[in-house]
Structure 1
Amino acid sequence: MKNILFTIGCLCAFQLSFGKIYKVKTAEEFNKAAVSVLAGDEIVIANGNYSNWATTINCNGTVDKPIIIRAESSVKAMFSGEVRRPVFQITGTYIQIKGLKFEGCQLIKTKGADVVLIQMNAAKYCRITDCTFTKNTVDTQFMPIVVVSGRGEHNRVDHCQFTGNVNNQEIQVKVTANDVSLYTLIDHNVFMDKDSVIWKGNNGGECVQIGQDPILLGNRYSYTTVRDNRFIHCNGEPEVISNKSSGNQYINNYFENCHGELVMRGGHECLVDSNTFAGGIGGIRVNGTGHTITNNSFKNLPIAIRLMYGMAKGKIDTGFYIAASDCIIKNNYITHCDTGILIGGSKNADWTGKFDTKRYPSRTIQDVAPFNNHLDNNTITDTKTPVLQ
């Protein structure tokens, strides 16, 4: 009898350790399950094609027992069609979305609403992994398809595929005056085959954007890490990655034949380390103060590293661009480029009439030269002009 009771107890413990599985086929079934799940439970979306979903999950897993939302078979649960509200909005803790596919979705801007495929809003320790986003479109400039926003922290987007998306931003970490999501990790994703956006100014097609207002909010620290990603034929706009906040890290990413650069558009004190650039129109463009740019590799580029002029300097002055200053440029390897390191890009560029000076109280001429930057131990070979200033 004791042995029987022991066995029953073990079976109960076994079941509890794995949690409950909810298998769903509709948005209504999903939303019903979402209010019932506990730590360790799973919501399994049956293989099939889906549209017109708008779901929210606000529940709490634990580090040992996350709540998992997954496809029955990886990428066999596919979402498509018109999207007017977030398909999945995550606002809890320790929630994972895994193995879903979004193909041919048309995101249509709705007044007063965020329109995205997946949004982690004020979420903590949540994760999007092993998902595929392909051939999705947006109807308005500056629209992302995956967003990390609100006062969240330690969220992650990893091992996802972003291919052939049109006119959009792929991943956005949102920074506002009141809210910033901290310690986001974006890693081991593939971004590829992205054509130029149609929008005015060829703007709004970044693969990764950390912050949106570099002039007024660039001093906000988000501590985002972007590492071990691959960017291949990403031609959406001149900024493949756009840094517009402070304290972020860009480590060991690979760029191949991209018509864009890794751009420190705003913000300060970021680390850009051990990235590889092979072909394309450029490598790293730098505005702002206190960046560390080390151990990067550049080959077959017009210019590997550009240190830019600005309208202002330091962390206190307001300028549409901040001059590159107090940056460390060290141990980089540059070969077969036209120019290795350019000190003084966009000298005296005139932005008169090109931005709202009431919103951004800045002079309009980039006449503040880069200053106090430290170049040390960079290896530059087979390059027409190693350093130009």
Structure 2
Amino acid sequence: MKKIKCLGLVWLLASGLTGFAKDYPVSSAKELSALSLKPGDRVLMKAGEWKDQQLKFKGNGVKGRPIVLMAANAGKTVLNGNSTLDIDGSWLVVDGLSFANGRLDSGEVVNFSEKSFSCRLTNTSVIDYNSSDDKVDYTWVSLRGTHNRVDHCLLKGKNHQGVTMVVWLSEKPNYHQIDHNYFGPRPELGRNGGETIRIGTSTWSFHDSFTLVEENIFEHCDGEIEAVSVKSGRNIVRNNLFYECKATLTLRHGNHSEVIGNYFIGNGKPGTGGVRIIGEDHNVRDNYFQDLTGTGNSAAISVMAGLPNPILVSHWQVKNARITDNLILNCKEPFAIAAGYRKDRYLPALNTYFAKNIILSNVSPLKVYDEKVVVNFEDNLIFSTAFSGEKGRGFELRNEQLKKGSSGLFLRPGQADFKPFWESEQIGPGWFLDINKKFTIN
């Protein structure tokens, strides 16, 4: 019996489940690197300015007992200068840090290493971490490894070259999760390379990522035409708010991704766009588009023309796109067919299915850039004074009015009033004020 009890104690000690966790107060990156951390341990970063600190957070927690690196007072540990953070291990949590007004020459401000697994960055901000030269290229958050999460963070004010947040691919899927974050204003860069989120790269675009982007707010993310650029397969972008973004959610490379239940609110701001579709077997459904002014590539929903004999960086032909149950309201160009068509980019979308969508428009709901493209229209409702040419071919005209809910959003016929996620969920760090403001919908 004693032997059995001893063996049980050995197992508990080995598994890190004994509860003998420790708190380690630190005041520098050097002190952090000297620690030998075990499951359940917490590292408490002293409040104040941390300048030019390269934090290396290493260790292996276990499920239910992660190792935590946290600000002793959330939001009061401020990293600047050329400070960076590298997350390298498993079941590691970073909580409550503030990166502000620093700058790098290359690399990334926060990096999840290639070996990272089930790690988390939460309740953290990166604000105005900019080089004085806007052509200097570095990323604010890089997600490598697998099953990592970035949530309840705030990133705003990036004005230099490079994507704000990148999911980097490898031979195996990532299964990352990006949720409940606030991505604040990013001014126009004037060239390619100003995305807010990019999932993958052109060279890895035929690999699957399985990344979930959910319940984030993108406000005035105007860096370039793609606010979110999907360049890999089997991702889900679900229930996010794109507020007055002079950009689009672009399925740029890769196949089998889903765009579900997102809100695109333009309020008439010039160049505001919706969803751009390139590639195969994408599903775009239950999204809400209102007062967007973009056309062609930046239409509310844009199905692109494809290039013949494409290479990895090309615009691949659209095949088997399913566009269903979307609500498109007062947009300048509700549905663009064969957008980007030209002499060298002419492959028509194949087997496009456009069904059960509701369009409210005082302009023609369809813009066809290539008459050769055949779209399967079915059971769509049109509330329009300018609709012509498609009646009886998958469209039904309605004279009734759509009602607005308490949030200012229009409701589908028969839909009950509801609160959108940004009125009911915590978005961004809990210590950062005024993110969950009421977004005005004209």
- CA contact under 8 A between 1:75 and 1:131: conserved in structure 2? yes
Which residue identity is paired with 1:99?
Answer: G
1:71 and 1:181 map into 2 onto residues whose CA distance is 32
Partner of 1:370: 349
TM-score computed with the length of structure 1 as normaliser:
0.83
Amino acid of the structure 2 residue aligned with 1:346: G
Question: Residues 293 and 231 from structure 1, CA distance in 2 versus in 1: closer, same or farther, beyond 3 angstroms?
Answer: same
Secondary structure, in 3 states, of the residue corresponding to 1:334?
Answer: strand
SS, match of residue 34 in structure 2: helix
Runs of 4+ in 1 over 4 A off after TM superposition: 138-142, 178-181, 316-319
Distance, in Å, in 2 between the alignment partners of 1:319 and 1:38 is: 44
Match of 1:37 in 2: 37
- Secondary structure of the residue aligned to 1:381 is strand
One of 123, 127, 137 as aligned partner of 1:134: 127
Q: Which amino acid letter does the alignment assign opposite residue 142 of structure 2?
A: V
Once residues 158 and 63 of structure 1 are traced to their aligned partners in structure 2, the CA distance between those partners, rounded to angstroms, is: 18
- CA positional deviation for 1:323: 1.9
Distance 2:136 2:29 in 1: 28
Question: How much does 1:324 deviate?
Answer: 1.7
1:305 counterpart letter in structure 2: I
- Distance of 2:173 and 2:50 partners within structure 1: 30
Mapped to 1, the partners of 2:192 and 2:363 lie a distance apart of 31
> Which residue of 303, 311, 315 corresponds with 1:307?
303
> How many Å separate the matches in 1 of 2:173 and 2:31?
30
Letter in 1 for 2:73: S
Identity of matched residues, %: 28
Q: How far does residue 17 in structure 1 lie from its aligned partner after superposition?
A: 2.4
Alignment of 1:344-363 (within 5 A): 344-348=338-342
Q: Identify the match of residue 156 of structure 1 among 132, 149, 159.
A: 149
Measure, in 2, the Cα distance between the counterparts of 1:30 and 1:312.
54
What amino acid is aligned across from residue 120 of structure 1 in structure 2?
F
2:367 alignment partner in structure 1: 388
Instruction: Name 2:30's counterpart in structure 1.
Output: 28
Q: Which residue of 1 aligns with 2:411?
A: none
Deviation at 1:343, TM superposition (A): 1.0
Conservation of the 8 A alpha-carbon contact between 2:173 and 2:207: no
Q: What CA distance in whole angstroms lies between the structure 1 residues aligned with 2:147 and 2:231?
A: 19
Report deviation, 1:247: 0.6
Does 1:195 pair with 2:196?
Answer: no
Report if the CA contact (8 A) 2:29-2:56 is conserved. Answer: no
Question: Does 1:264 pair with 2:266?
Answer: no
**For each residue in 1:227-268, what CA deviation from the matched residue of structure 2 results, as whole angstroms up to 9, or x when unmatched?**
100011111111100001111000000011111000111111
Residue in 2 that maps onto 1:362: none
Residues 82 and 373 of structure 1, relative CA distance in 2, 3 Å threshold: same
Give the Cα separation in 2 of the matches to 1:222 and 1:57: 25
* Separation of aligned partners in 2, 1:236 and 1:103: 20
Q: CA deviation at 1:120?
A: 0.7
Aligned partners of 2:105 and 2:137 also within 8 Å? no
Partner residue in 2 for 1:10: none
| Cα distance, 1:318 vs structure 2 | 5.3
Query: In 1, are the aligned partners of 2:53 and 2:82 still within 8 Å (CA)?
Result: no
Conserved 8 A contact 2:171-2:207: no
Corresponding position of 1:108: 105
Q: In structure 1, what is the Cα distance between the partners aligned to 2:316 and 2:253?
A: 7
Residues 1:92 and 1:187: Cα distance change in structure 2 (over 3 Å):
same
Instruction: Quote the residue 2:8 is aligned against.
Output: none
**Residues 248 and 51 (structure 1), Cα distance of their counterparts in 2 relative to 1, 3 Å cut:** same
- What is the aligned residue count? 340
Distance 1:301 1:242 in 2: 19
Identify the residue that residue 282 of structure 1 maps to in structure 2: 273
Counterpart check, 1:146 vs 2:141: yes
1:276-314 alpha-carbon deviations (Å, 9 max, x no partner): 00005210011000000000000011321000011148x
Q: Distance in 1 between matches of 2:223 and 2:253?
A: 19
1:210 paired residue number: 199
Distance 1:378 1:265 in 2: 23
Write out per-residue CA displacement over residues 172-200 of structure 1, whole angstroms, 9 at most, x where no aligned residue.
0012xx545510000000011111125xx
Q: Distance in 2 between matches of 1:144 and 1:348?
A: 34
* CA distance in 1 between partners of 2:104 and 2:51 (Å): 12
Aligned to 2:332: 338
Q: Please identify, of 337-346 and 54-63, the stretch whose mean Cα deviation from structure 2 is larger.
A: 54-63
| Structure 2: runs of 5+ lacking an equivalent | 1-12, 294-298, 369-442
> What is the identity, as a one-letter code, of the residue corresponding to 1:171?
M
Say yes or no: does 1:80 pair with 2:80.
yes
CA contact (8 A) 2:81 2:102 kept: yes
Shift of 1:62: 0.9
CA RMSD of aligned residues (A): 1.9
* 2:49 alignment partner, SS class: strand
Equivalent residue for 2:398? none
Whole-angstrom distance in 2 between the partners of 1:43 and 1:345:
52
Task: Identify, as 1 or 2, the structure richer in strand.
Answer: 1
Q: 1:180 to 1:57 in 2, by over 3 A?
A: farther
> Which residue number corresponds to residue 89 of structure 1?
86
Q: Is the 8 A contact 2:32 2:57 kept in 1?
A: no
**What residue number does 1:235 align with?**
222
Q: 1:19, CA displacement in angstroms? A: 1.2
Change beyond 3 A, Cα 1:317–1:117: closer
